[in-house]
Chain A
Amino acid sequence: MRKVITGNYAAAYGAMLSRPAVVAAYPITPQTTIVELLAKFKAEGIADYKYIPVESEMAAISACMGAELSGVRAYTATSAHGLLLMHEMLHWVAGQRIPLVMNVANRALAPPWSVWADHQDAIAQRDTGWMQIFAENNQEVLDSVIMGYKIAESHDILLPMIINMDAFILTHTLEVVDIPDQEMVDEFLPSFDLPHKIDLDNPRQYGTLAFPNQYMEFRYKMAQAMERAKSKIKEVAEEFKKKFGRYHGDLLDIYRIDGADVVLITMGALSSMGKEAVDILREQGYNVGLIRLRTFRPFPTEDLRKYLKDVAVIGTIDRSYSFGYGGALFNEVKAALYGHSDVIVKDYIVGIGGRDISTETMIKIFKNAIEIKKEGKLDREIEWIDLNI
């Protein structure tokens, strides 16, 4: 069924179709309409999950962790400061190997207050052990939630996943979205089966102590699971394509990089403007391309090395900033390529706190990167785009 809906509604449909038994809901702009629609589904009898209006985001994720540990699928969604309040529990959920799936409406952090899009909230959760997907459009949001449960709950993964969506640009913008039939989703997504769920006949203590001679091994297992997730994400993306006829990329979404000597690497909704810029510049004879990094964790190190080996200049488009070092994408891309390529990498800081990013912005960035290729050296390492100075 095709419907014109917002990214938030797409997330709610994705969650509802995944048949969670528990939804923990706490409102925050711009995520609120996700849990509002899930409440409506429940009120109208379309869904039969237990809907828990909790007292905070910390409680929301804790309720979800408890629910999944008891052996049922759960869902929640948040944004910005809500995600920050969850931070400790993000470590608990991942460390306890709970395959929770959560939508995050990516919003700038205060102060000063901002409810508009940037990726700082998600990037700040980088090392929690969660997989992180950045969606480009509303259809991808819906599809990624369904795929997310399948990837996360796979017994060789058992790690949680965040599906990121840019505040307002996706969350509140209407697009045509194909909502799959429940029957097809049921065929695609197996029922929830957590191997270490609470078992009354075999009582265990969770959240217990591991001594220095045991702890490292558990963390190593997490590291290995995250490595395995790279191939699992690809596998599930292929399965999804076969079943539903849609493909959004797997770890990467490659756009017209054949013969390209200048490539931009992007995340999230702004990638669409980047792709449009590629089309315009290609028409003018420039050899440019774009790689949308769809999966920020696990980081697609090997794939980036493969696709970028013949590229002369890379521009990383960062919608976040690590103070004292640069954009997150910039630093991770450079680290991935170190020792594998002599490519020049420049960081473009864009759209912080919801500053508008147009196709013209992306063309301007491409033209700067093309200039760097001509000169053969960087003008500067990091540039804040459309800054009022």
Chain B
Amino acid sequence: MPFKVDELPEAPYSFQLVVNKTGSWRNFRPVIDYNRCIRCMICWKFCPDLSIQIVPDETHKLKIKPVIDYEHCKGCGICANECPVKCIEMVREE
């Protein structure tokens, strides 16, 4: 969004600028098969864009699951590559 000169702070810093939703950059989307996911959270740790969050999951004995933030995930595929049980599939975006 454009800002007028007087609407901007004197010095440049982030929160006045646009929050970038980078999800539209994606060609492939990672899709997690939660039946096979072992909740190791290696995908969360490796995601270079902090686009995987850990959320509560009562259906699993570890009570958590990783969830992909598709508004920001750029589809780099690092999560799918690192997943030790290969439960993340990269699906082409339509």
Please report A residues at the B interface, Cβ cutoff 8 Å.
95-97, 155, 158, 195-196, 204-206, 208-211, 213-214, 217-218, 220-221, 225
Any A CB within 8 A of the CB of B11: yes
CB distance from A6 to the nearest CB of B (A): 36
Interface residues of B in 3-32 (CB under 8 A from A): 3-5, 8-15, 17-18, 20
Q: Which residue of B lies closest to A215 (CB)?
A: B12
Question: Chain B residues with Cβ under 8 A from A196's Cβ?
Answer: 9-11, 13
Question: Chain B residues with Cβ under 8 A from A218's Cβ?
Answer: 8, 12
CB distance from A180 to the nearest CB of B (A): 31
Taking A214-B2, A218-B8 as given, write out 5 further A-B residue pairs in contact, using a Cβ cutoff of 8 Å, ordered by the A residue number. Answer: A195-B10, A196-B11, A208-B17, A214-B17, A221-B8
User: By the criterion CB–CB under 8 Å, are B8 and A217 in contact?
Assistant: yes
User: By the criterion CB–CB under 8 Å, are A204 and B2 in contact?
Assistant: no
Contacting A158 at CB < 8 Å: which of B5, B11, B15? B11
Number of interface residues of B (CB under 8 A): 16
User: By the criterion CB–CB under 8 Å, are B14 and A205 in contact?
Assistant: yes
Contacting A208 at CB < 8 Å: which of B3, B5, B14? B14
Contacting A206 at CB < 8 Å: which of B4, B14, B18? B14
Query: Which of B8, B9, B13, B20 gathers most chain A CB within 10 Å?
Result: B13
CB distance from A353 to the nearest CB of B (A): 38
Please report B residues at the A interface, Cβ cutoff 8 Å.
1-5, 8-15, 17-18, 20
Question: Chain B residues with Cβ under 8 A from A158's Cβ?
Answer: 10-11
Question: Chain B residues with Cβ under 8 A from A213's Cβ?
Answer: 1-2
Can you list 27 A-B pairs, Cβ within 8 angstroms, ordered by A? A95-B12, A96-B11, A96-B12, A97-B11, A97-B12, A155-B10, A158-B10, A196-B9, A196-B11, A196-B13, A204-B13, A204-B14, A205-B13, A205-B14, A208-B13, A208-B14, A210-B17, A211-B17, A214-B3, A214-B17, A214-B18, A217-B4, A217-B5, A217-B8, A218-B8, A221-B8, A221-B10
Assembled-state Cα–Cα distance A195/B20 (Å): 25
Assembled-state Cα–Cα distance A204/B15 (Å): 6
Q: Which residue of A lies closest to B2 (CB)?
A: A213
Assembled-state Cα–Cα distance A97/B3 (Å): 19
Assembled-state Cα–Cα distance A220/B9 (Å): 12
Assembled-state Cα–Cα distance A155/B9 (Å): 12
Assembled-state Cα–Cα distance A96/B14 (Å): 12
Q: Which residue of B lies closest to A224 (CB)?
A: B5
Question: Chain A residues with Cβ under 8 A from B5's Cβ?
Answer: 217, 220-221
Assembled-state Cα–Cα distance A268/B8 (Å): 38
Question: Chain B residues with Cβ under 8 A from A210's Cβ?
Answer: 12, 17
User: By the criterion CB–CB under 8 Å, are B17 and A97 in contact?
Assistant: no
CB distance from B16 to the nearest CB of A (A): 9
Assembled-state Cα–Cα distance A95/B5 (Å): 15
